[in-house]
Amino acid sequence: MTMANPPTQYHHHGRFQVAGGVLPDAITAYRTYGYHGNPCIVFPTCFGAKLDSQVYMVGEGKVMDPTKYFVVTFALFGNGESSSSSNTPTPYNGPYFPAVTYEDNIRAQYAVLQKFGVKKLFAVIGFSMGGQQAYHWPVMYPEFTERYIVICGSARTSPHNKCFLEGPKAALVASKDFENGHYKTPAEIGVRAFGRVYCAWAYGQTWFREHKYTMGGLYPDLASFMRERWEGRFADNWDANDLLTLVHTWQSGDISKIRHEGDLVACLSQIQAKGLIMPSKTDLYFPPEDSVNEMSSLTSGTARLVVIDTVWGHTAGGGSNPVDDAFVQATIKAFLEE
């Protein structure tokens, strides 16, 4: 059943310290589904997502059913809805927007949940950058967080992931209309270049080999697919400096920085919340090997690994196709009902 989107709400934090400085009036954009007295599930945005995107697993009959749960979807700082370089007034606008981390986002989200009187977080479910946020919750708020579900994400952004992100980032900042972040009109050339470089890693090798970029006949060839689905989507929806804010958040992701001085093994071994880790078999952003390595450090019995057997690469976890979406939702639903 498709659910109509509720209105976006905005929580004003006032003066809010972030990794790169301070925001005089930080704002977290969010939406709520269901009754706030029900068990709470947090579903944060990933890279390239707005709050409108956070409905593919929310709705009656879906894994995040508002008749059973109080679902809160959160927009990341930098996504253009929460505080971002594109919507923050002078003197923190544009390239002057401070760097933010996952920790900053989780602190802000926690503050919103307190407004609703949430005493326990039943579960946090996240895909990609949302999955990295999900990993942060049981580390930052161990007594508050009961379950975390990581879909195509990681506890620490790996070197190969950081390296990949330098590609679209370099294409953006080197564009002639980026102007070192001081552009007066949208840096469309740079944003288009970002989208084109980014798309090559989004799908598995097998997916491209089978020509599934046609996506049911929507695109007649690969050139149309790249131009329309990737260049067009980024050009229509994204500000260049906002993209760079999100890239920094992604690249700096590391739960072991919170209180373990970079010792990821120690950090993972102390997580007590129940975890479900769901990598995609063909993910080029967060390959399943990373999740296997993390599982070796998670406390025995508290977390389980379920690999999504798919050719859809990273997108398999984001509701990109019915088969993978059904598998992901059924697996999560069973986990939540245990």
Per residue in 289-329, pLDDT (tens digit) is 999 999 999 987 789 999 999 999 999 999 999 999 999 99
> Is residue 212 scored above 80 in pLDDT?
no
Structure tokens that stand for 9 in this block: 């709400």
> Is residue 157 scored above 60 in pLDDT?
yes
Q: How confident is the model at residue 134 (pLDDT cuts 50, 70, 90)?
A: very high
Give catalytic residue positions.
Answer: 128, 283, 314
The predicted model gives 257-265 an average pLDDT of: 93
Per-residue confidence (pLDDT) for residue 150, from 0 to 100:
98
The predicted model gives 2-20 an average pLDDT of: 90
Domains of the chain: 9-158+254-336 (3.40.50.1820), 162-247 (1.10.1740)
> Is residue 207 scored above 80 in pLDDT?
yes
Q: What is the mean pLDDT of the chain?
A: 95
pLDDT tens figures, 172-183: 999 999 999 999
Which DSSP letter does residue 32 get? E
Per-residue confidence (pLDDT) for residue 5, from 0 to 100:
83
Per-residue confidence (pLDDT) for residue 213, from 0 to 100:
73
Per-residue confidence (pLDDT) for residue 3, from 0 to 100:
55
H-assigned helices in the chain:
102-115, 129-140, 159-173, 188-199, 205-209, 222-224, 232-237, 240-251, 264-269, 288-295, 322-336
Are β-strands 40-44 and 70-74 bridged in parallel, bridged antiparallel, or unpaired?
parallel
pLDDT tens figures, 31-84: 999 999 999 999 999 999 999 999 999 999 999 999 999 999 999 999 999 999
Distance (Å, whole) CA 97 – CA 289: 35
Per-residue confidence (pLDDT) for residue 1, from 0 to 100:
44
Cβ-based burial of 185 (10 A; exposed 0-12, middle 13-18, buried ≥19): exposed
Per-residue confidence (pLDDT) for residue 161, from 0 to 100:
94
Structure tokens that stand for 297 in this block: 């450090």
> Is residue 115 scored above 80 in pLDDT?
yes
Which DSSP letter does residue 96 get? G
Show Cβ contacts of residue 296 under 8 Å, excluding neighbours closer than 6 positions: none
Percent of the chain at pLDDT exceeding 90: 88
Omega cis (within 30) before 91: yes
Structure tokens that stand for 198 in this block: 């980014």
Helix, strand or coil, per DSSP, at residue 141 = coil
> Is residue 25 scored above 80 in pLDDT?
yes
pTM (two decimals): 0.95
